[in-house]
Structure 1
Amino acid sequence: MKYQININSANTVEEMPGYWTTEDYIRLLAKFNYPDADKAGKDTLNELLLMAITDYEPNEAAAILLEDKLSEQLNEGQIEQISNDMLLDKIVEEYPEISLHATLFHINQLLYKAFNGKFPNTKATLLACTITPLEENGEAELTKEMVLKLLGAGLTDRNLVQRLFTEQMTGSVPFPEAANILWELNPAAGHSYEILTSENWISPDDFTTHDFEAQVEKTEILEQE
């Protein structure tokens, strides 16, 4: 199926407002020994958490956040290792389990803000685009794999996804990694989408054009979550 892709905006962001919920803040404040967080105003919870985090050593704070968000995916030893490595390296870009990158990004940026830059600053790319079918009966639910392949038509060959997943991007082999390379794929009105991914995977500067056509075969629609 052929599509017209229009990149309406491509911006670098350091955090995504709304990722941390009120429930997250209250639960985490309790873990950082802040009393009666449930009685605090919702608009103060973020600042209260940032202050509570700094009562701990940076690696200790990192371990608490990692345990809270990723205890089902990481064991105690892995959490301890990552909590120390995060102070030195961009773990969100380097950790071998791609499925954890999005959560690691949000944790890292909370720590970066709390500790005034003691943690490396990692960035994400927020895309707003329209993806319009060009064929009759071309309507289909777009998966992350489909969208990533369509975006590839507008990306430079130097782009990291293009270089690491050449065969997957051309559709010659399965591409389960796509589900975790694109962190969020949120449809909006019409054929509009908001996409969040790591700047390491797709930088705004990676696009050679913001208006292009691309094709994805129907046999490529299936996506492994």
Structure 2
Amino acid sequence: MQSKFTVQVDSFQKISKIQNAWSVGDFKALLTIMDFDDDVDAMDAGELREMCMMSLSDLKPEDAAAVVLTHSFPTLSRGKVEQISHDMMDEHCWEEYPDCLYHERFFNAYSLLREAFNGKFAKPAGVEIALTVTAAHSEDMTIFDDSLHSSIVRILASGQGDDALINRLYEEQIQGKYFPEAKGIVWQLKQIADNGLSRQFSLVSSYFWLEFFEQVDEFKAVSHADSAA
């Protein structure tokens, strides 16, 4: 059964990078792939990041991209990494790669490479949004306890109408019982307030999916939780 909601768009901000997307461990791993000789364990976080960025910028752009992709996508074959690393200069993989579950990692890869090469790579387009979701009945709010990502993505799809790309590509999952791709559409999601019949959420996603809400203050939507396996 579909639950009905009123959704308020509290804030909408375009972003080109996600804070703290790259950790000390990530920088160490990237330097290791680049055969960096110095003792990385002796460096603090700032030094590691600076050395990593310098080492990437010393490479050809496609070679630097291959380093970042090798670390970010350990299951991709070497041939696939080489192919994508050459395509990245012209393609927006954080939007276009067939498997949306890879999109956040591509977004972070572009952010890092764009910084290392002073804008030579495409500027990734993401969004940070805060939403307040309100229902008439308390039982409707339980869908967020059962399957948060799927429920929120269904709300965002419902708010855009049937002709929106998300609805055309994922109609079966949106209407159905299970939506495994939801975490590839909304990358980061957390509940930041619970006031009974309303809850506030913050999320990070691609501008590609959620551009519609840049000009929207409030909308009606329906949603449901995934069904238990």
- Which TM bucket (shorter chain)? 0.7 to 0.9
Whether the 8 Å contact between 2:153 and 2:186 is mirrored in structure 1 is yes
Alignment of 1:45-64 (within 5 A): 45-64=48-67
Residue 226 of structure 2 is aligned to residue 221 of structure 1: yes
Once residues 222 and 44 of structure 1 are traced to their aligned partners in structure 2, the CA distance between those partners, rounded to angstroms, is 47
Alpha-carbon distance, 1:164 to partner = 2.9
Alignment of 1:131-146 (within 5 A): 131-140=133-142, 141=145, 142-146=147-151
1:160 aligned residue (145, 161, 165): 165
Q: Alpha carbons of 1:206 and 1:188: their partners in 2 closer, same or farther (altered >3 Å)?
A: closer
Partner secondary structure for residue 210 of structure 2: coil
Once residues 186 and 47 of structure 2 are traced to their aligned partners in structure 1, the CA distance between those partners, rounded to angstroms, is 31
Letter in 2 for 1:52: S
Once residues 79 and 223 of structure 1 are traced to their aligned partners in structure 2, the CA distance between those partners, rounded to angstroms, is 36
Residue 42 of structure 2 is aligned to residue 39 of structure 1: yes
Once residues 58 and 25 of structure 2 are traced to their aligned partners in structure 1, the CA distance between those partners, rounded to angstroms, is 21
Alpha-carbon distance, 1:50 to partner = 1.4
Residue 215 of structure 2 is aligned to residue 211 of structure 1: no
Whether the 8 Å contact between 2:69 and 2:81 is mirrored in structure 1 is yes
After alignment, is 185-194 or 171-180 more displaced? 171-180
Whether the 8 Å contact between 2:12 and 2:214 is mirrored in structure 1 is no
Which residue does 1:194 correspond to in 2?
202
Whether the 8 Å contact between 1:143 and 1:223 is mirrored in structure 2 is no
Once residues 174 and 206 of structure 1 are traced to their aligned partners in structure 2, the CA distance between those partners, rounded to angstroms, is 25
Q: Alpha carbons of 1:55 and 1:34: their partners in 2 closer, same or farther (altered >3 Å)?
A: farther
TM-score when scaled to structure 1?
0.85
Whether the 8 Å contact between 2:63 and 2:85 is mirrored in structure 1 is yes
Calculate percent identity across the aligned residue pairs: 28
Once residues 139 and 93 of structure 2 are traced to their aligned partners in structure 1, the CA distance between those partners, rounded to angstroms, is 43
C-alpha root-mean-square deviation of aligned residues, in Å? 2.4
Alpha-carbon distance, 1:44 to partner = 3.9
Which residue does 2:124 correspond to in 1?
122
Q: Alpha carbons of 1:75 and 1:6: their partners in 2 closer, same or farther (altered >3 Å)?
A: same
Provide the aligned length of Structure 1 versus Structure 2.
Answer: 219
Once residues 114 and 184 of structure 1 are traced to their aligned partners in structure 2, the CA distance between those partners, rounded to angstroms, is 25
Once residues 165 and 209 of structure 1 are traced to their aligned partners in structure 2, the CA distance between those partners, rounded to angstroms, is 22
After alignment, is 191-200 or 208-217 more displaced? 208-217
Residue 185 of structure 2 is aligned to residue 177 of structure 1: no
Alpha-carbon distance, 1:127 to partner = 0.9
Once residues 85 and 155 of structure 2 are traced to their aligned partners in structure 1, the CA distance between those partners, rounded to angstroms, is 36
Whether the 8 Å contact between 2:149 and 2:182 is mirrored in structure 1 is yes
Q: Which runs of 5+ in 2 are unaligned?
A: none
Alpha-carbon distance, 1:216 to partner = 2.2
Partner secondary structure for residue 216 of structure 2: coil
Which residue does 1:70 correspond to in 2?
73
